[in-house]
Amino acid sequence: MTPFGSTADSQAALATVHDSLSKVREALRDCISLQPPPVPSAPIRRPSQKILAYTVMAKVAHDAIIRKVDSARRNSQADIAMLQKLRQRSACLGYERMLLERQIDAQRAVKAPTVDKVSVKLPHPAPQNASEEESMDVHIDTIKALCAELQKRQRVRDEVDGLVKRTKRKRDQLVTMKDDLRSLPRAVATLRNAIEPVRKLLKVGEELAASPPELAQIRLLPVPLYVLTREAFAFRTMFPKILNISLLEEQAKLEGVYRPHPRLVRMDIQAGEHIGAGVCLQVFFRFHPELHVVTVTSRIANSEQPSAKMDGKLLQLLFPYDVGETSPNPCNSHLENGAFSFDVSKAGGARPFVWANLLCGLPCLERFDTVNEIVGAGWPTEAAGHEAHIRFKETVLSLQNRLCMEVALRKQLEALQAKRMPIQAGDLGFMVEPEARLEMFAKCKSRDEESKNGLGGDNVNVMFREVWEMRVWSGELTMGCDVGIASNYPTGTPCFRLKLEKEQRDISEADMLRLEQKVNMYKMEGDLEDKRELLLSGQILTLLEGVDKLQGERSSSGKARVKRGTEKVPPSLARLLT
């Protein structure tokens, strides 16, 4: 008994399979180059062996068909991609063809200029009975008319040639521009690949425009503050230890043209670890829509006193000639029938500094009218064009430097109020410690807090933020002094004005003026340039040294002590606190 039943049934099944395989072989022989299987040396006797052999042959044929189908599929995908490129190219060519057809139609619509062969009036011919001279005159007039017409046509031809040349040049420029536009995507891709290493090195990526949570709020800011905020975010990404930015909202308390936008920006500029942890300069930027200017208020805050009082004059003269008392927008001069003038008191103490408006992208005019010449500041005349050099990084570093100088100045003033020197004389290069001492150091109370404080003089024309009163003594000599502190200390040197506290007629006015000039001309030079924030201490030590010298001269001369009398104030101090 065979596995397939009877012998007759097996023979019939084998015949059917054999016929089927023969037909498959004949159908696939042309496409897969199937060779007939080799004839075994010995005949296959068992039917199962024949079925296995035909099954293997069918498997080989099936694998060959699958490979052929995969190859055809890959070729079809490549053909589809090529077809898409050809379609895009065809669309571009169709667009160019449409443009060319429009140009051709436009040229056809223009009528071609017609030029008359002869448009000159010729003189009437001479009569037959005319003399030779009259005939010659007629010919000469005809030649002159033809020459004039020839020159006219030559000029027209030159104009046409010029138009043709300009048209050709324009066409060449358009072709060049078209080529540049076609190569623009490739150039952008090349540039993107070129800056990728730098972007990874600086760690500046797409997170600059998406990572800060405040970016969702800056869309509500007015355009100038939006520009400032984006610059601040970019700077904070590069220097996170220097700058921090906050978006605030407040209820407007001002009315009229000075009413600001309810949203404002606050920048916190850190002083650094060498000054003190938590000490920062808070700068508030507000936009006034009706004036179209940005104003600034500032204060120095720390962890112990987070809500310090605003100081309106702290940022004056951050850049040359910029005191923030006039509107930088030239259009404001037409308000109120040409009589408008920016009033800091009506703006709540805020000042429209030029550097703040430039950082916000607002145009400004160069101005010199506020402070024409600042001799005490030491700025060159070329500093008038400083608006062209104001950048965000330089401004932030200038604000940080102003903060450091202000903190150092406050420490010196606190020590002087306690009647002690902030630093030893030897640290500033003095050979001997002065014997003169401080008797009093206090701040002068101005009669008008909003007025301009200034110490008058022939050689100094500086605006001072505050004025201090000082009194020193050495032996029997007592001398008073008024000290004006400029906003841009130490670039703006403090100004000293001396006065005698007693009727000491043995001290001449010339000696006092020489000592006063010596103190005002003191500079931190050489090795002391790194300690320029101690300029005030150096000037006071110079004053004490000079007072000791005057007292020594009085003692050596043997002059008697003068009785106390009424103080006489020099005329130069008449404008001290007005």
Tell whether 107 is covered by a domain.
no
Q: 430-462 burial, b if ≥16 CB within 10 A, otherwise e? A: eeeebebebeebeeeeeeeeeeebbbebeebbb
pLDDT in tens, the chain (578 residues): 444 444 555 566 666 666 666 766 665 564 455 445 555 545 555 677 777 877 888 888 888 888 888 888 888 888 888 888 888 888 888 887 888 888 788 777 766 555 555 555 666 666 767 777 777 777 788 788 888 888 888 888 888 988 899 889 888 888 888 888 888 888 888 888 888 877 776 655 444 444 556 667 888 899 999 999 988 988 888 888 889 888 999 887 888 889 999 999 999 998 877 776 778 999 999 999 999 999 999 999 886 666 667 777 888 888 888 888 888 888 887 888 878 889 999 998 999 999 999 999 887 765 444 444 433 334 444 444 555 568 899 899 999 999 999 988 999 999 999 988 888 888 888 888 898 888 889 988 754 333 344 454 433 334 688 899 999 988 888 888 999 998 888 888 899 999 876 566 667 788 888 999 999 999 888 878 888 888 999 999 999 999 888 888 877 766 544 333 333 333 333 333 33
Q: Are residues 309 and 192 in the same domain?
A: no
Tell whether 396 is covered by a domain.
yes
Tell whether 334 is covered by a domain.
yes
Residue 412 CA to residue 520 CA, distance in Å, equals: 18
Residue 309 CA to residue 296 CA, distance in Å, equals: 14
Strands, DSSP E only, in 242-385? Answer: 243-249, 263-270, 280-288, 293-301
Tell whether 475 is covered by a domain.
yes
Q: Are residues 298 and 355 in the same domain?
A: yes
| Strand-pair partners of 467 | 484
Q: Are residues 143 and 251 in the same domain?
A: no
Q: Are residues 246 and 359 in the same domain?
A: yes
Q: Are residues 64 and 148 in the same domain?
A: no
Tell whether 113 is covered by a domain.
no
Q: Are residues 328 and 430 in the same domain?
A: no
Tell whether 208 is covered by a domain.
no
Question: Is the CB of residue 316 less than 8 Å from the CB of residue 324?
Answer: yes
Q: Whole-prediction pTM value? A: 0.58
Q: Are residues 321 and 463 in the same domain?
A: no
Q: Are residues 187 and 49 in the same domain?
A: no
Domain boundary among 202, 223, 249: 202
Note down the domain range covering 198.
127-202
* DSSP H or E run through 471: strand 464-474
Domain boundary among 143, 176, 202: 202
Q: What is the count of structural domains for the chain?
A: 4
End-to-end Cα distance, the chain: 136
